[in-house]
Structure 1
Amino acid sequence: MFKQRKVGIVGTGHVGSHCALSLMLQGVCDELVLVDIDEAKSQSQAFDCMDTASFLPHRVKVKKGTYQDLGKVDIVVISVGTIDNVSKNRLSELEGSLKIINSFVPEIMASGFKGYFVVITNPVDIVTYYVQKLSGLPHNHVIGTGTGLDSARLCRVLSNELNIDARSIQAYMLGEHGDSQMAVFSQVSINGFSLESFLKNTGKKLDYNKVETTVTKAGWDIYSGKKSTEFGIACVCTDIIRAVYSDEKKVMACSGYLEGHYGENGLYIGVPAIIGKNGVEKVLELELNEKEQDKFSETLEIIKKHIKIGEKAFK
């Protein structure tokens, strides 16, 4: 008998519901289990998704579930939490996010879950670190979305500035999915051309600081206009899950666990990695110039500081 691809989503607000829809529309899974502390919401989201399913070329089953039901799924997406729209700093959400994950991750593990976690909840790098601690799963089986969305935003901004298709651009934001993230301009590739070479060929100019600032602020700019960000991150989540199910060996930015990479150990941070059937199969190291290395060192220190702050939530 063929194995059904089953995904659970914890948290069915703007982000969780759009993750469900993206997974359905792209045909990545056969069954979705939606879990939320507001059971009426998860039930309504499941019904709404099932109303959509009749228009798809493939069959998808969506249902409301409990933490106990997640023991039977392959992948659990964590998309719980609230946005701090006052400070507009994802790090300020840490204490609340850790209390929430501490309330259900052990329960999911007690249900017999042995799959993969895909973590979206902010601050995602630190939350991913603690989801792994709470679950006891291998580091490569706990994947944060990290700077996956930020890297896509970098490609969008460069596309607008250079007037070329974003799909022709390969570029990465590294570090914290937050204010200290940084662009690796030295390693931008435009279908084989370095960014510097492309600018020389086209005679175009680029304000590097403006581009980096625009990307870093992009999430809050979107939030200020619609009070949520949902579509882009849902597609990042779907990309990760597809890469695992299809063993794609896809290179993309995510919260990867450093084990000697970039000279650091023992934390998750936004870096490019190869994702396949074993989760994060390899973290990749970009060659950084001196300025980029200094910026990356700064964002590493911020992650380390907040991991220590997070320890208080578990005492």
Structure 2
Amino acid sequence: MALIRKIGVIGQGHVGAHVANSLLMQGVADELYLADINAQKLESECQDLTDSMSFYPHNCRVVNCGEKYELLAGCDVVVNAAGDVAKAAGDRDGELFVTAEITRTWPRRLVDAGFGGVIVTISNPCDVVATEIWHLTGYDPRRIIGSGTALDSARLKNAIARRVSLDQRSICAYMLGEHGTSQFAAWSAVNFGGKPLAELAAEQPNRFGFDLAQAEKDARFGGYVTYAGKGCTEYAIANAAVRLVRAVVSDEHLVTACSTLLTGEYGESGHYTSLPCVVGAAGVEEVVTLSLTEAEQAELHASCEHIKGNIARLTWWDEERRPSLR
């Protein structure tokens, strides 16, 4: 008998609804468990998804869980998309207090109900929320993944691709650090088919000698271009989340930038931030440490300081009572 892939999504706002639709469009889920505090919105999304079932690759059981987060305990992956995107109109830190408060409502209940899967959290500020989930539950931190700069790395690839006329999927490039304005491009690690950007820029300056600072800015602030006309971001973040879900349920050992608990990498520990990670059935199976330049390491430390500053603003954080590193 085939394994039944069970995926949960908490929050059916702009992003959560797109995550649910993308999961079904890509045929990732066999059973989809949806939760939200807005009963009518949740019922409407369930109706819309089941009305669309004839157009998806295969059937999927869609379960309306309301606020009964315990019903998601049997899921292989639970995606956290609960938040208030309107609070992020100015910057991603705008959701800090409201999202942190929302996050207090479900993780402990999920874990206490026997959940043994992987949590993929995309609510902002992503690194803070991922740290909070770990802190509140004591759950295996490698099984809590923040989408982090998986999305921003895709934006960087888009920015580079426009300049060099190559397929985005043929470019290896990472935005690292916070999923926020302190993130940075690891230009020293950018390569095309294994050939470093610096070498190509020296050989073909007209094509590869583009303005690095402007490309990095396009990646860092690309979400606000989207937000300006839509009042939200939807497609890219939903697909970034589903890419992580696919890596888990298919045990892909995918190398991607995402937010994970730091345990000494580059001298940082005790909070989540984005580095290249190997993602599979166990969550983050390995953290890839790059040979960052001194300047890039300084940017990483500055980004970590921003994350830690936000964490310190929240009442749930207690350095003395944080879970032990595993």
Same fold (TM over 0.5): yes
Query: What residue is the counterpart of 1:254 in the other structure?
Result: 258
- CA displacement at 1:84 relative to structure 2: 4.6
Amino acid at match of 1:197: E
Counterpart in the other structure of 1:290: 294
Work out which of the residue numbers 133, 143, 148 in structure 2 matches 1:141. 143
Gaps of 5+ in 2: 322-326
Paired position in structure 1 for 2:324: none
Aligned in 2, Cα 1:226/1:265: closer, same or farther, shift over 3 Å?
same
Q: Aligned residue pairs: how many?
A: 315
Shift of 1:13: 0.9
Identify the match of residue 118 of structure 1 among 117, 120, 125.
120
Q: How far off its partner does 1:239 sit?
A: 1.0
Check 1:117–1:312 CA distance in 2 against 1; reply closer, same or farther (3 A cut): closer
Selected match of 1:235 from 232, 239, 242: 239
In structure 2, the residue matched to 1:189 is: 191
Say if 1:99 and 1:313, in contact at 8 Å, map to a contact too. Answer: no
1:155 matched residue in structure 2: 157
Q: Which residue of 2 aligns with 1:171?
A: 173
Query: Which whole-Å CA distance do the structure 2 matches of 1:301 and 1:233 have between them?
Result: 25
The CA distance in 1 between the partners of 2:132 and 2:3, in whole Å, is 30
Partner SS for 1:255:
strand
Q: Secondary structure at the match of 1:112?
A: coil
Give the Å deviation of 1:100.
Answer: 0.4
User: Percent of pairs identical after alignment?
Assistant: 39
CA distance in 2, matches of 1:102, 1:85: 18
- Structure 1 contact 257–283 (Cα < 8 Å) conserved: no
Counterpart residue number, 1:212? 216
In 2, Cα distance between equivalents of 1:262 and 1:76: 30
Change (3 A) 1:267 1:158: same
Indicate if the aligned counterparts of 2:26 and 2:57 stay in contact, CA closer than 8 A.
Answer: no
Task: Tell me the residue number matched to 1:56.
Answer: 56
Q: Which residue of 2 aligns with 1:94?
A: 96
Q: Which residue does the alignment assign to 2:267?
A: 263
Query: Is the contact between residue 252 and residue 272 of structure 1 (CA under 8 Å) also seen in structure 2?
Result: yes
CA offset at residue 110 of structure 1? 3.1
Q: TM-score, normalised by structure 2?
A: 0.92
Q: Secondary structure at the match of 1:311?
A: coil
Deviation (angstroms), 1:87 = 6.0
When the two chains are superposed, the root-mean-square deviation of aligned CA atoms in Å is 1.7
TM (normalized to structure 1)? Answer: 0.96
Q: Does 1:31 align with 2:31?
A: yes
SS in 1 for 2:242: helix
Match in the other structure for 1:13: 13
> Contact between 1:180 and 1:298, CA under 8 Å: does it hold in 2?
yes
Q: Equivalent residue for 1:44?
A: 44
User: In structure 1, what is the Cα distance between the partners aligned to 2:131 and 2:262?
Assistant: 11
Q: Which runs of 5+ in 1 are unaligned?
A: none
User: What's the offset of the Cα at 1:168?
Assistant: 1.3
Alpha-carbon distance in structure 2 between the residues aligned to 1:196 and 1:115: 41
What is the CA-CA distance between 1:179 and the residue it aligns to? 0.6
The alignment partner of 2:298 has SS state of helix
Using a 3 Å threshold, how does the CA distance of structure 1 residues 31 and 81 change in structure 2: closer, same or farther? same
- Tell me, what secondary structure is at the counterpart of 1:103? coil
Q: Which amino acid aligns with 1:291?
A: A
The one-letter code sitting in structure 1 at the alignment partner of 2:149 is T
